[in-house]
Chain A
Protein backbone atom coordinates (compact mmCIF):
# COMPACT_ATOMS: atom_id res chain seq x y z
CA UNK A 1 0.00 0.00 0.00
CA UNK A 2 2.88 2.33 0.88
CA UNK A 3 4.55 1.68 -2.47
CA UNK A 4 1.28 2.37 -4.28
CA UNK A 5 0.90 5.62 -2.39
CA UNK A 6 4.48 6.75 -3.08
CA UNK A 7 4.00 5.89 -6.77
CA UNK A 8 0.76 7.91 -6.83
CA UNK A 9 2.52 10.83 -5.11
CA UNK A 10 5.32 10.75 -7.70
CA UNK A 11 2.78 10.67 -10.52
CA UNK A 12 0.86 13.62 -9.07
CA UNK A 13 4.12 15.57 -8.64
CA UNK A 14 5.16 14.90 -12.24
CA UNK A 15 1.68 15.71 -13.54
CA UNK A 16 1.76 19.11 -11.77
CA UNK A 17 4.92 19.91 -13.75
CA UNK A 18 4.19 18.26 -17.09
CA UNK A 19 0.53 17.40 -17.66
CA UNK A 20 -2.64 19.48 -18.10
CA UNK A 21 -4.22 20.48 -14.79
CA UNK A 22 -7.22 18.22 -15.27
CA UNK A 23 -4.96 15.13 -15.34
CA UNK A 24 -3.61 16.12 -11.90
CA UNK A 25 -7.13 16.83 -10.60
CA UNK A 26 -8.50 13.53 -11.90
CA UNK A 27 -5.57 11.54 -10.49
CA UNK A 28 -5.95 13.23 -7.10
CA UNK A 29 -9.70 12.47 -7.00
CA UNK A 30 -9.09 8.81 -7.94
CA UNK A 31 -6.39 8.55 -5.25
CA UNK A 32 -8.78 10.13 -2.76
CA UNK A 33 -11.12 7.16 -3.15
CA UNK A 34 -8.40 4.57 -3.66
CA UNK A 35 -6.41 4.91 -0.45
CA UNK A 36 -7.61 4.03 3.01
CA UNK A 37 -6.43 7.21 4.71
CA UNK A 38 -7.40 10.57 3.25
CA UNK A 39 -5.30 11.65 0.28
CA UNK A 40 -4.11 15.01 1.62
CA UNK A 41 -1.47 15.21 -1.11
CA UNK A 42 -4.45 16.60 -3.03
CA UNK A 43 -3.94 19.85 -1.07
CA UNK A 44 -0.16 19.83 -1.56
CA UNK A 45 -0.67 19.49 -5.34
CA UNK A 46 -3.11 22.42 -5.35
CA UNK A 47 -0.63 24.52 -3.38
CA UNK A 48 2.14 23.63 -5.84
CA UNK A 49 -0.05 24.62 -8.82
CA UNK A 50 -0.84 27.97 -7.17
CA UNK A 51 2.77 28.70 -6.28
CA UNK A 52 4.19 27.63 -9.66
CA UNK A 53 1.64 28.96 -12.11
CA UNK A 54 -0.64 31.25 -10.10
CA UNK A 55 -1.29 34.91 -10.74
CA UNK A 56 -3.03 37.14 -8.17
CA UNK A 57 -6.71 37.19 -9.11
CA UNK A 58 -8.53 40.47 -8.56
CA UNK A 59 -11.87 38.62 -8.53
CA UNK A 60 -10.64 36.68 -5.47
CA UNK A 61 -9.21 39.65 -3.56
CA UNK A 62 -5.79 39.41 -5.28
CA UNK A 63 -5.35 35.95 -3.79
CA UNK A 64 -2.77 33.59 -5.23
CA UNK A 65 -4.48 30.50 -3.80
CA UNK A 66 -7.49 30.10 -6.07
CA UNK A 67 -6.78 26.46 -6.97
CA UNK A 68 -6.24 25.68 -3.27
CA UNK A 69 -9.66 27.15 -2.43
CA UNK A 70 -11.17 25.04 -5.23
CA UNK A 71 -9.38 21.91 -3.96
CA UNK A 72 -10.65 22.49 -0.40
CA UNK A 73 -14.19 22.87 -1.71
CA UNK A 74 -13.87 19.64 -3.72
CA UNK A 75 -12.47 17.95 -0.62
CA UNK A 76 -15.43 19.15 1.44
CA UNK A 77 -17.80 17.63 -1.13
CA UNK A 78 -15.85 14.36 -1.52
CA UNK A 79 -15.35 13.61 2.19
CA UNK A 80 -19.00 12.75 2.96
CA UNK A 81 -19.29 10.86 -0.35
CA UNK A 82 -16.28 8.75 0.57
CA UNK A 83 -17.59 8.07 4.08
CA UNK A 84 -20.87 6.78 2.60
CA UNK A 85 -19.06 4.59 0.10
CA UNK A 86 -16.99 3.02 2.87
CA UNK A 87 -20.09 2.31 4.96
CA UNK A 88 -21.76 0.60 2.02
CA UNK A 89 -18.74 -1.53 1.24
CA UNK A 90 -18.52 -2.84 4.81
Chain B
Protein backbone atom coordinates (compact mmCIF):
# COMPACT_ATOMS: atom_id res chain seq x y z
CA UNK B 1 0.00 0.00 0.00
CA UNK B 2 2.70 2.40 1.02
CA UNK B 3 4.76 1.66 -2.06
CA UNK B 4 1.81 2.25 -4.39
CA UNK B 5 1.01 5.54 -2.69
CA UNK B 6 4.58 6.77 -3.14
CA UNK B 7 4.67 5.78 -6.80
CA UNK B 8 1.41 7.59 -7.65
CA UNK B 9 2.47 10.66 -5.75
CA UNK B 10 5.89 10.84 -7.39
CA UNK B 11 4.38 10.33 -10.86
CA UNK B 12 1.84 13.10 -10.22
CA UNK B 13 4.40 15.44 -8.76
CA UNK B 14 6.86 14.94 -11.63
CA UNK B 15 4.05 15.64 -14.12
CA UNK B 16 3.10 18.75 -12.16
CA UNK B 17 6.71 19.92 -12.18
CA UNK B 18 6.89 19.36 -15.93
CA UNK B 19 3.72 21.42 -16.47
CA UNK B 20 5.07 24.17 -14.22
CA UNK B 21 8.38 24.20 -16.09
CA UNK B 22 6.50 24.40 -19.40
CA UNK B 23 4.40 27.35 -18.16
CA UNK B 24 7.52 29.12 -16.87
CA UNK B 25 9.28 28.53 -20.20
CA UNK B 26 6.26 29.91 -22.08
CA UNK B 27 6.26 33.06 -19.96
CA UNK B 28 10.02 33.42 -20.46
CA UNK B 29 9.78 33.04 -24.23
CA UNK B 30 6.90 35.56 -24.49
CA UNK B 31 8.61 38.16 -22.26
CA UNK B 32 11.90 37.71 -24.14
CA UNK B 33 10.19 37.97 -27.56
CA UNK B 34 8.42 41.14 -26.42
CA UNK B 35 11.73 42.61 -25.24
CA UNK B 36 13.59 41.77 -28.48
CA UNK B 37 10.78 42.40 -31.00
CA UNK B 38 8.41 44.83 -29.22
CA UNK B 39 5.79 45.01 -31.97
CA UNK B 40 5.73 41.37 -33.07
CA UNK B 41 3.46 39.72 -30.48
CA UNK B 42 1.14 42.72 -30.23
CA UNK B 43 0.86 42.98 -34.01
CA UNK B 44 0.15 39.26 -34.39
CA UNK B 45 -2.50 39.19 -31.64
CA UNK B 46 -4.09 42.38 -32.99
CA UNK B 47 -4.44 40.71 -36.41
CA UNK B 48 -6.55 38.01 -34.74
CA UNK B 49 -8.47 40.38 -32.47
CA UNK B 50 -9.26 43.13 -35.01
CA UNK B 51 -11.83 41.13 -37.07
CA UNK B 52 -13.51 39.96 -33.85
CA UNK B 53 -13.85 43.54 -32.62
CA UNK B 54 -15.07 44.73 -36.03
CA UNK B 55 -17.72 42.00 -35.98
CA UNK B 56 -18.70 43.03 -32.46
CA UNK B 57 -19.06 46.66 -33.60
CA UNK B 58 -21.26 45.58 -36.51
CA UNK B 59 -23.48 43.44 -34.27
CA UNK B 60 -23.75 46.23 -31.67
CA UNK B 61 -24.63 48.68 -34.44
CA UNK B 62 -27.58 46.50 -35.44
CA UNK B 63 -28.53 45.82 -31.81
CA UNK B 64 -28.71 49.56 -31.09
CA UNK B 65 -31.41 49.91 -33.73
CA UNK B 66 -33.60 47.13 -32.31
CA UNK B 67 -35.15 49.02 -29.32
CA UNK B 68 -36.27 51.87 -31.61
CA UNK B 69 -38.12 49.35 -33.76
CA UNK B 70 -40.31 48.29 -30.85
CA UNK B 71 -41.05 51.77 -29.52
CA UNK B 72 -44.36 53.45 -30.08
CA UNK B 73 -44.86 56.45 -32.33
CA UNK B 74 -46.08 58.59 -29.42
CA UNK B 75 -43.02 58.01 -27.23
CA UNK B 76 -40.68 58.62 -30.19
CA UNK B 77 -42.46 61.86 -31.10
CA UNK B 78 -42.30 63.06 -27.49
CA UNK B 79 -38.58 62.33 -27.41
CA UNK B 80 -38.01 64.17 -30.71
CA UNK B 81 -39.82 67.26 -29.39
CA UNK B 82 -37.78 67.16 -26.18
CA UNK B 83 -34.49 66.74 -28.06
CA UNK B 84 -35.36 69.52 -30.51
CA UNK B 85 -36.01 71.92 -27.64
CA UNK B 86 -32.72 70.91 -26.03
CA UNK B 87 -30.87 71.40 -29.33
CA UNK B 88 -32.39 74.83 -29.90
CA UNK B 89 -31.32 75.92 -26.43
CA UNK B 90 -27.77 74.66 -27.04
CA UNK B 91 -27.71 76.46 -30.42
CA UNK B 92 -28.64 79.70 -28.68
CA UNK B 93 -25.87 79.23 -26.12
CA UNK B 94 -23.33 78.44 -28.84
CA UNK B 95 -24.47 81.25 -31.14
CA UNK B 96 -21.20 83.16 -30.91
CA UNK B 97 -19.01 80.06 -30.71
CA UNK B 98 -18.20 79.85 -34.45
CA UNK B 99 -17.51 83.58 -34.67
CA UNK B 100 -15.19 83.39 -31.65
CA UNK B 101 -13.43 80.30 -33.02
CA UNK B 102 -12.89 82.02 -36.39
CA UNK B 103 -11.56 85.12 -34.65
CA UNK B 104 -9.27 82.97 -32.50
CA UNK B 105 -7.97 81.15 -35.59
CA UNK B 106 -7.37 84.46 -37.40
CA UNK B 107 -5.44 85.89 -34.48
CA UNK B 108 -3.27 82.77 -34.24
CA UNK B 109 -2.56 82.87 -37.98
CA UNK B 110 -1.61 86.56 -37.78
CA UNK B 111 0.94 85.71 -35.10
CA UNK B 112 2.24 82.76 -37.12
CA UNK B 113 0.74 80.12 -34.82
CA UNK B 114 -1.66 78.42 -37.18
CA UNK B 115 -2.55 74.98 -35.85
CA UNK B 116 -1.62 71.97 -37.99
CA UNK B 117 -4.16 70.30 -40.30
CA UNK B 118 -7.08 68.20 -39.21
CA UNK B 119 -6.58 65.15 -37.08
CA UNK B 120 -7.10 61.51 -37.95
CA UNK B 121 -10.51 60.04 -37.21
CA UNK B 122 -10.40 56.63 -35.54
CA UNK B 123 -13.05 54.15 -34.43
CA UNK B 124 -12.75 52.67 -30.94
CA UNK B 125 -12.49 48.88 -30.98
CA UNK B 126 -12.09 48.13 -27.29
CA UNK B 127 -12.88 50.21 -24.20
CA UNK B 128 -12.36 49.90 -20.45
CA UNK B 129 -13.29 47.79 -18.48
CA UNK B 130 -12.24 45.16 -21.03
CA UNK B 131 -8.82 45.29 -19.44
CA UNK B 132 -7.68 46.51 -16.03
CA UNK B 133 -5.58 49.07 -17.91
CA UNK B 134 -7.30 52.37 -18.69
CA UNK B 135 -6.64 51.99 -22.41
CA UNK B 136 -8.54 52.15 -25.69
CA UNK B 137 -7.77 50.15 -28.83
CA UNK B 138 -8.26 52.10 -32.06
CA UNK B 139 -8.82 50.76 -35.57
CA UNK B 140 -5.99 52.75 -37.13
CA UNK B 141 -2.24 52.38 -36.88
CA UNK B 142 1.00 52.97 -38.75
CA UNK B 143 -0.75 52.60 -42.12
CA UNK B 144 -3.06 55.51 -41.22
CA UNK B 145 -0.22 57.79 -40.13
CA UNK B 146 -0.61 57.35 -36.37
CA UNK B 147 2.53 58.04 -34.33
CA UNK B 148 3.44 57.17 -30.76
CA UNK B 149 2.89 60.06 -28.34
CA UNK B 150 0.12 61.69 -30.44
CA UNK B 151 -2.67 63.39 -28.50
CA UNK B 152 -6.10 61.76 -28.67
CA UNK B 153 -9.16 63.99 -28.37
CA UNK B 154 -12.93 63.91 -28.49
CA UNK B 155 -13.79 67.36 -29.82
CA UNK B 156 -11.96 69.87 -27.60
CA UNK B 157 -11.49 67.33 -24.78
CA UNK B 158 -8.13 65.57 -24.45
CA UNK B 159 -8.48 61.98 -23.31
CA UNK B 160 -5.07 60.34 -23.74
CA UNK B 161 -1.97 59.66 -25.80
CA UNK B 162 -0.98 56.92 -28.21
CA UNK B 163 1.36 54.53 -26.39
CA UNK B 164 1.62 51.63 -28.86
CA UNK B 165 1.23 51.58 -32.62
CA UNK B 166 0.73 48.45 -34.74
CA UNK B 167 0.16 48.21 -38.48
CA UNK B 168 -3.61 48.66 -38.38
CA UNK B 169 -4.36 49.27 -34.72
CA UNK B 170 -3.06 51.46 -31.92
CA UNK B 171 -3.41 51.61 -28.13
CA UNK B 172 -4.29 54.82 -26.28
CA UNK B 173 -3.50 55.25 -22.61
CA UNK B 174 -6.10 57.49 -21.02
CA UNK B 175 -4.92 60.37 -18.85
CA UNK B 176 -7.31 59.04 -16.22
CA UNK B 177 -5.32 55.76 -15.87
CA UNK B 178 -4.79 55.23 -12.11
CA UNK B 179 -1.67 56.99 -10.90
CA UNK B 180 -0.94 58.81 -14.17
CA UNK B 181 0.31 62.34 -13.45
CA UNK B 182 -0.29 65.11 -16.00
CA UNK B 183 0.84 68.73 -15.67
CA UNK B 184 -2.15 70.96 -16.50
CA UNK B 185 -3.58 74.39 -15.76
CA UNK B 186 -6.57 75.37 -13.67
CA UNK B 187 -8.54 78.33 -14.95
CA UNK B 188 -9.99 80.15 -11.94
CA UNK B 189 -11.63 83.55 -12.50
CA UNK B 190 -9.37 84.31 -15.46
CA UNK B 191 -6.15 83.29 -13.70
CA UNK B 192 -4.24 80.17 -14.79
CA UNK B 193 -2.78 78.08 -11.97
CA UNK B 194 -0.36 75.20 -12.75
CA UNK B 195 -1.56 71.91 -11.28
CA UNK B 196 -0.48 68.26 -11.30
CA UNK B 197 -3.51 66.10 -12.04
CA UNK B 198 -3.54 62.44 -10.97
CA UNK B 199 -5.74 59.88 -12.74
CA UNK B 200 -8.12 57.82 -10.60
CA UNK B 201 -9.34 55.52 -13.36
CA UNK B 202 -12.54 55.45 -15.42
CA UNK B 203 -12.36 59.14 -16.44
CA UNK B 204 -11.90 60.52 -12.91
CA UNK B 205 -9.10 62.83 -11.76
CA UNK B 206 -7.90 64.55 -8.62
CA UNK B 207 -5.41 67.29 -7.74
CA UNK B 208 -4.31 69.18 -4.65
CA UNK B 209 -3.63 72.87 -4.19
CA UNK B 210 -2.45 74.92 -1.23
CA UNK B 211 -5.34 76.49 0.69
CA UNK B 212 -4.16 79.98 -0.28
CA UNK B 213 -5.00 79.21 -3.93
CA UNK B 214 -8.69 79.49 -4.69
CA UNK B 215 -10.49 76.72 -6.51
CA UNK B 216 -14.19 76.14 -6.93
CA UNK B 217 -16.66 73.81 -8.61
CA UNK B 218 -17.02 74.68 -12.30
CA UNK B 219 -13.38 75.82 -12.77
CA UNK B 220 -11.95 74.57 -16.05
CA UNK B 221 -8.92 72.28 -16.22
CA UNK B 222 -6.95 72.94 -19.41
CA UNK B 223 -3.87 71.66 -21.18
CA UNK B 224 -1.13 74.29 -21.41
CA UNK B 225 -0.51 75.50 -24.97
CA UNK B 226 -1.78 77.70 -27.78
CA UNK B 227 -4.83 75.52 -28.43
CA UNK B 228 -7.66 75.38 -25.93
CA UNK B 229 -7.74 71.72 -24.96
CA UNK B 230 -10.11 70.91 -22.14
CA UNK B 231 -9.72 68.14 -19.58
CA UNK B 232 -12.84 68.77 -17.57
CA UNK B 233 -14.44 71.06 -15.03
CA UNK B 234 -14.00 70.74 -11.28
CA UNK B 235 -16.92 68.83 -9.71
CA UNK B 236 -16.13 69.08 -6.02
CA UNK B 237 -13.49 70.41 -3.62
CA UNK B 238 -12.62 68.84 -0.27
CA UNK B 239 -10.84 70.82 2.40
CA UNK B 240 -10.56 70.38 6.13
CA UNK B 241 -10.16 73.17 8.69
CA UNK B 242 -6.83 71.83 9.92
CA UNK B 243 -5.38 70.74 6.54
CA UNK B 244 -3.15 72.97 4.42
CA UNK B 245 -4.44 71.75 1.05
CA UNK B 246 -7.62 71.58 -1.02
CA UNK B 247 -8.30 68.33 -2.82
CA UNK B 248 -10.37 68.79 -5.97
CA UNK B 249 -12.09 66.10 -8.01
CA UNK B 250 -13.36 66.15 -11.57
CA UNK B 251 -14.45 63.78 -14.32
CA UNK B 252 -13.75 63.89 -18.02
CA UNK B 253 -16.88 65.16 -19.84
CA UNK B 254 -16.45 62.26 -22.28
CA UNK B 255 -18.59 59.20 -21.54
CA UNK B 256 -16.12 56.39 -22.18
CA UNK B 257 -18.74 53.66 -22.02
CA UNK B 258 -20.41 54.92 -25.21
CA UNK B 259 -17.34 56.27 -26.99
CA UNK B 260 -17.25 55.25 -30.66
CA UNK B 261 -14.92 57.69 -32.42
CA UNK B 262 -11.90 59.77 -31.42
CA UNK B 263 -9.59 62.21 -33.17
CA UNK B 264 -5.82 61.75 -33.21
CA UNK B 265 -3.72 64.92 -33.51
CA UNK B 266 -1.17 64.95 -36.29
CA UNK B 267 0.69 67.90 -34.77
CA UNK B 268 2.01 66.09 -31.66
Contact = CB atoms under 8 A, between A and B. Distances in A.
Interface of A: 17-22, 37-38, 40, 43-44, 47-49, 51-56, 59, 64-68, 70, 72
A51 B20 contact: no
A19 B130 contact: yes
Given A18-B130, A52-B49, 11 more contacts: A17-B49, A17-B130, A19-B130, A21-B131, A40-B22, A47-B30, A52-B131, A54-B135, A55-B163, A65-B34, A66-B133
Nearest to A37: B19
Contacts of A64: 34
A47 B27 contact: yes
Contact of A21 (B27, B56, B132, B177): B132
Nearest to B56: A18
A51 B41 contact: yes
Nearest to A25: B132
A interface: dominant SS:
helix
B171 interface: yes
Interface bracket on B = 20 to 34
Interface of B: 15-16, 19-20, 22-23, 26-27, 30-31, 34, 41-42, 45-46, 49, 52-53, 56, 126, 129-133, 135, 137, 163-164, 171, 173, 177, 179
B131 A49 contact: yes
B34 A53 contact: no
A22 B129 CA distance: 8
Contact of B130 (A53, A66, A68): A53
Q: 4 closest pairs, A vs B, by CB?
A: A53-B131, A55-B173, A40-B23, A20-B129
Given A43-B27, A47-B30, A52-B49, A20 B133 contact: no
Nearest to B161: A55
Contacts of A18: 52, 56, 130
A83 B132 CA distance: 29
A51 B34 contact: yes
B19 A38 contact: yes
A49 B131 CA distance: 7
A53 B171 contact: yes
27 contacts: A17-B49, A17-B53, A17-B126, A18-B52, A38-B19, A40-B22, A43-B27, A48-B45, A49-B132, A51-B30, A51-B34, A51-B41, A51-B42, A52-B45, A52-B46, A53-B126, A53-B137, A54-B164, A55-B133, A55-B135, A55-B163, A55-B173, A56-B163, A64-B34, A65-B31, A67-B131, A67-B133
Nearest to B160: A55
B19 A40 contact: yes
Contacts of A47: 27, 30
